[in-house]
Amino acid sequence: MQTLYLIGFMGSGKSTVGRLLHEKLGGSYHDTDQMVVEKYGEIAAIFEQKGENQFRDYETEMLKETASENFVVSTGGGIIERKENGEFMKKNGLIIYLDTSFDEIGDRLGNDPVRPLWRKNDSEKQQLYKRRNKLYAGLADITVTTDQKSPYIVVEEILGHLQ
Ligand code: S3P
């Protein structure tokens, strides 16, 4: 199996869908956020103490540990902020974009205190969403919309695309 990279905005379901996909497909499962936490500590603390750029370095380092076969990889929403990450995923595997509307993301995340970039004001979050959506779409090999769909349905749709 070619490695599958799940990309999309915060709250699009990358981790839940990734774990379920991995259950169906086998191989190894990695979550770049989880890998960063295990090696470097909590993400909010990294942002606060070392800054976003340092977090992006850690995230890139973790992504590069994934191989081109037999991995399902859930990424952080900002993985596409570094061009080299997009190029790496494109070269190494298949990129699956979980496309979720801004309104639905707002409903799912509410006032989530854990994600540093979700603490910005509404117009900043919308701008971030708009800018990133173009980047996700530009990289995607497969796009699945997720509004009002359970993670199980999203996984079934992805599997349908992979056949
Ligand atoms: C980020 C998304 C987060 C995490 C970090 C930065 C982003 O991951 O990597 O807080 O820049 O969008 P999720 O997409 O899993 O929330």
Residue closest via CA to ligand 1's atom 15 equals 76
3-state secondary structure (DSSP) of residue 25: helix
Q: How many CB atoms lie within 10 A of CB 56?
A: 16
Ligand 1 pocket, CB under 6 A:
10, 14-15, 33, 43, 76-78, 115-117
Mean pLDDT of 74-99: 98
Tokens of 17: 């869908």
pLDDT, tens digit (0-9, with 9 covering 90-100), for 68-83: 999 999 999 999 999 9
* Gap between the Cα atoms of 63 and 113, Å rounded: 25
The encoded tokens of residue 145 equal: 């919309």
How far does residue 139's CA lie from ligand 1's centre (Å)? 18
Segment 13-50, tens digit of pLDDT: 999 999 999 999 999 999 999 999 999 999 999 999 99
Give residue 1's identity as a one-letter amino acid code.
M
Q: Helices H, strands E: what count in the chain?
A: 8, 5
Check residue 113 and give its pLDDT: 82
* Residue 66 pLDDT grade (very low, low, confident, very high; cuts 50, 70, 90): very high
The pLDDT score that the predictor gives to residue 114 is 85
Residue 157 has pLDDT above 90, yes or no: yes
Span 101-151, pLDDT tens digits: 999 999 999 988 889 999 999 999 999 999 999 999 999 999 999 999 999
- Those residues with Cβ within 8 angstroms of residue 67's Cβ, 6 or more apart along the chain or in another chain: 3, 92
Per-residue confidence (pLDDT) for residue 14, from 0 to 100: 98
- Fold of the domain spanning 3-162: Rossmann fold (3.40.50)
